[in-house]
Structures are given as structure tokens and as C-alpha cells.
Amino acid sequence: MNKRIVYYEHGGPEVLRWENEIVPDPAHGQVLVRNELIGVNPIDWKLVAGLFRNDPAPFPGTPGWASTGIIEAVGPGVHDFAVGQAVIVDSRARLALISGSYAGTFREYVAVDTRQIVARPPEISIEQAAGLPSSAVAGYSMIHHLGISKADTLLVHGAAGGVGSAAVQVAVARGACVIGTASPANHDYLRSLGAHPVDYTADMVDAIRRLGPITASADAVGGAGSVAATVALLPAGGRAVTAWGDEHSHAAGIPWVNHPDDELHQVAKLAAQGLLNIRIAEILPLSDAAAALEQIKTGHSLGKILLLP
């Protein structure tokens, strides 16, 4: 049997349930992965809460985008991956339906399309591998979207979170000057990544202006405050992108991030080179998925939470 986390209605983490299912057979173009560790991301609690109402995938739903594990079986038409191979899973990348039970990683075994996996480089630990999708992937894609180079001074909103810290590291690796907004408790962490920290709870617009003009803005949190700061600070011709589009970013003309097809491959490559590191907060058993989502939802976790099946 395959143990998994499910929900039969939208709501808070309390709606999650622990169930068994039959281990699936991989379909054409799929592999069956035995999860070793599962990454928890902010989008997981948002899916459970039903914040993506345009997604009609049916109940029961299973949360989860990210995991790493070992291929246990391959479906018809699979030639580039083999049984016993270690892979990184970004299970819902480029899928039309992102909720429902299909491809949710909060389970022991997950059947996933080969377009959603990459081989796990031997230089990456399983903890780092599980933490890469989907937050670090989104951070990389924002930098790719903006075309950041050493000529840029980049503002990253929410720079200490999973998406923002990845964006900081990728931009620093490209030689850019990076200014990151975060609470004071995270300023030393941002300095360790090579960014100039700014307190988002204070007058961050004036604080950023004192550091010099920016050429681009990557918003990893969304909301009225970060959008207003970007509009105030970004000169004509500057570039901006958001990982969490809303009515504020839409009104300001700030686009959602575009995700290139090779984003997971590029993120794994950067991690293998030591240029991208995920801050791990703790590892919980899969049965404690509700507690993990609660921590992510309230923002009380300093780093990535992982689940052990």
C-alpha cells in the first residue's frame, strides 16, 4: 500500500487526512518514484485552502510539488531514466491541473511524468534535492525572466524565503549587486548570501534609495507593499517580475514569472556547483504534514521543512 496525505474539502491544515492507496503503475512516459524526502512549499497550503479556484481538479486532493527519491518502475516509452536511479521531482511543473490527487508528492510513492524530473547529481544531498522544487525553481526562473547580469542592481522582495533566497543566490552568481528585503532577524543570513539587507517593516523605499538606484525587481512575496515599493523605485525601462501575481501587480503591469522548460535542470546544476544552497529548518514525518503546513502558512519557519515518508 501507498500511504498519502489527502483532503476532501478546502480549508486549513486541519482538513488533511492520512490514508492508504494502491501503489500506482506508471503510465506511458511516467516513472514510479519511491520518495526519500518531500519538500514543503507555500503553494501547498494555498492549494489546500482553495486559493486557486480556477483549478477544477477533483477531490480528494494530495498536496505537494517537491520530492526526491529512487525510481522503482518505468512506464512504456521511457528510455532516459532507469530503475534504481535517484531523481529530483517537481511533480506539477507545467501541468494544467495543479490540485487533485494527481502528482501530489505528499505520499510514499508518486507516479510522475519524466518531464517533471531530473537526475539527482551525486554532489547534492537528499535534503538539498528535496528542497529545490518548487521555491528555488521559482527563484531561478525570476532571475532568468529578468535577464539579470553583472550590470544590474536587483531588488528582491522577501529575500530570506525559499523563493527569494534562491533568487538572491542566482543573481549573486551572475555578478549582480543584490538588495534584499527581510525582517531584521534574517539580515545576517542575507549578508551570508551576498545581499545588502533592508528591513521591510521600516521605510524600505528610503532605505533602498540610500543604497543606490535599482535596475530590476524580483518580488517573491506579492502584495500592495512590495508592489508600491517597486513602482516607486524602478526607473523607466526597468524590469520587474513577481512569483505571486495579484491585483496589485496586475494593476502595476508587473508580469508573472515565466518558467523555462529546463528550470529544474538549471537549479540542480547550480546546486551541484555549490552556487545555490537551501536553508533547511527541520525534517518531520509525513504524518505531521498538517503541522508542516501550519508552520509554512504562519511564516514561523526559518528555512525549508521536509517530510520523511
Mind listing the pLDDT tens digit for each residue in 218-267? Answer: 999 999 999 999 999 998 888 999 998 899 999 999 999 999 999 999 99
**4 vs 90: CA distance, rounded Å:** 17
> Binning pLDDT at 50, 70 and 90, where does residue 101 land?
confident
Provide the percentage of residues in the chain whose pLDDT is more than 70. Answer: 100
Q: What is the CA radius of gyration of the chain?
A: 19
258-261 long-range Cβ contacts below 8 angstroms, 24+ apart: 258/141, 258/144, 258/145, 259/93, 259/94, 259/137, 259/138, 259/141, 260/141, 260/144, 261/94, 261/115
Q: Is the dihedral of CA 140, 146, 149, 153 positive or negative?
A: negative
Q: Is the pLDDT of residue 306 over 90?
A: yes
Q: Write out the three cell numbers for 174.
A: 551572475
Q: Is the pLDDT of residue 295 over 90?
A: yes
pLDDT at 187: 96
**38 vs 107: CA distance, rounded Å:** 8
**256 vs 283: CA distance, rounded Å:** 31
Q: Is the pLDDT of residue 28 over 80?
A: yes
Q: What integer is the mean pLDDT of 163-179?
A: 98
Whether residue 230 contacts residue 253, with contact meaning beta carbons closer than 8 Å, is answered with: no
Residue type present at position 48: V
- Distance from the Cα of residue 223 to its chain's centroid: 18
Q: Is the pLDDT of residue 93 over 80?
A: yes
What's the mean per-residue pLDDT of the chain? 94
Do the strands 66-74 and 86-90 form a parallel or antiparallel pair, or are they unpaired? antiparallel
**62 vs 194: CA distance, rounded Å:** 37
Q: What integer is the mean pLDDT of 21-43?
A: 96
Sequence ranges of the domains in the chain: 2-123+274-308, 135-252
Q: Write out the three cell numbers for 128.
A: 538539498
pLDDT at 55: 76
Q: Is the pLDDT of residue 26 over 90?
A: yes
Which of 131, 126, 133 shows the shortest CA–CA distance to 112? 133
Listing DSSP states for 215-247 in one string gives: SEEEESS-SHHHHHHHHHHPPTT-EEEESS--H
Q: Is the dihedral of CA 22, 17, 162, 230 positive or negative?
A: positive
Q: Is the pLDDT of residue 45 over 80?
A: yes
pLDDT at 68: 98
Q: What integer is the mean pLDDT of 9-13?
A: 95
Provide the percentage of residues in the chain whose pLDDT is more than 90. Answer: 86
pTM of the full predicted structure? Answer: 0.94
CA angle 20, 306, 109 (to 5 degrees): 30
pLDDT at 54: 74
Query: Any residues with CB less than 8 A from the CB of 250 and at least 6 apart, and which?
Result: none
pLDDT, tens only, 53-81: 777 778 999 999 999 999 999 999 999 99
pLDDT, tens only, 135-144: 999 999 999 9
- β-partners of residue 50 are none
> Binning pLDDT at 50, 70 and 90, where does residue 52 land?
confident
Whether residue 252 contacts residue 222, with contact meaning beta carbons closer than 8 Å, is answered with: no
CATH number of 135-252: 3.40.50.720
> Binning pLDDT at 50, 70 and 90, where does residue 202 land?
confident
pLDDT, tens only, 142-157: 999 999 999 999 999 9
pLDDT at 276: 98
pLDDT at 57: 79
Q: Is the pLDDT of residue 25 over 90?
A: yes
What is the third-level CATH fold of 2-123+274-308?
Quinone Oxidoreductase; Chain A, domain 1 (3.90.180)
